[in-house]
A and B are shown apart, each in its own frame.
Chain A
């Protein structure tokens, strides 16, 4: 059975989907990803769908599920590289990827995750009044 590779880059897991997703591959990917998040302690997941020509409700639901799983494991999910044609089709079909953050490319996705982490970090530091004065 084909598997979708999961690459670790720093604090981020990169999943590049380059084959047609079947039920089995999708379930396998969800399991693999959950395991890798726990094993590596990463706080960001980037799913690259540049190679996908078609995103139907099945793939849409899979992306939502992955985002939800990652959220539970405290990792931010960003879907990147959606093609214009795919976006137009999704809009025409009335499908919206609820609860999924998107970015134009992997680079922007990484920036987005970094920004989200920074916000969270800042928020935590704000509780400690000494933290701000300690930074130069």
Chain B
């Protein structure tokens, strides 16, 4: 939907000739749709940037968005959508910021008159649609990268390996365990075993909402890998419902020690390592 050089020139002239009015009207329309969530000054600056980008591109020749000479225009549009996406505006609200220009252009074309005002308006409108779609796409891209970043952060946040005792580390698993997370947990646990030289690891599944065959498979793999490296794993935090599911699904944990609570698991490991735990008698004064 690229404009011809002639049409671009006319559009640029139209917009630059009424610069103050265009930005004023444009800002008003957007402000109405955003309901005051963006300051007037900020909005005005954005609109002026856009206005400037469109006019300067139009003055240089045909406005063709994918072309070389529209780099500045593309950058301005991307900048706008990135900002909106990060500030939490919806895709529609972002696209409306561009589509609002249509109303302004319609008014200007109407006033300017001329024989082919309808044809001009259709051409301008097509261009504005294209600009809007471009904004939309940048918006989605920004959102996607935000989501990807967050997923990664979540992955890192949710798989800590903590040291419980000399030679004992624990992994408190929280949330559903899918293949990607299981892989991260496995790698991190094994690496921690090597780094700390701990011969015992406790995998606590209190925070895992459901254990199906796949989750069990992931846990078993981790345990077997740890064994190959010379460390022993204990599974703890098995809730009553989960125990029932495990039995119902016919999952076999073999000779892997399973405990109901993290405390039991720690006590078990301490006994294995030969640490004595004793309750200290409270001293009673007669």
Contact = CB atoms under 8 A, between A and B. Distances in A.
A91 to B, nearest CB: 5
Interface string A84-125: 111110111000110001111101110010000000000000
A94 to B, nearest CB: 10
A126 B269 CA distance: 27
B216 interface: no
B182 to A, nearest CB: 11
Interface string A69-94: 00000000011101111111011100
A84 B224 contact: no
Contacts of A108: 197, 199, 230
B225 A88 contact: yes
Interface string B175-190: 0000000000011001
A96 B225 CA distance: 9
A102 B224 contact: no
Contact residues of B: prevailing secondary structure: helix
Contacts of A97: 228
Interface in B180-224: 186-187, 190-191, 193-194, 197-199, 221, 224
Contacts of B230: 78-80, 82, 101-104, 108-109, 112
A35 to B, nearest CB: 27
Given A84-B187, A87-B190, A91-B221, A102 B197 contact: no
Interface in B225-274: 225-231
Given A84-B194, A91-B221, A104 B228 contact: no
Identify which of B186, B197, B199, B229 gathers the most chain A CB atoms within 10 Å of its CB: B229
A103 B194 CA distance: 10
Contact of A88 (B186, B194, B197): B186
A48 to B, nearest CB: 12
A88 B190 contact: yes
Nearest to A104: B230
Given A84-B187, A84-B193, A90-B225, 17 more contacts: A82-B229, A83-B194, A84-B190, A84-B194, A84-B225, A85-B187, A88-B221, A91-B221, A91-B224, A92-B221, A102-B227, A103-B230, A104-B194, A104-B229, A107-B197, A108-B199, A109-B230
Interface of A: 78-80, 82-88, 90-92, 96-97, 101-105, 107-109, 112
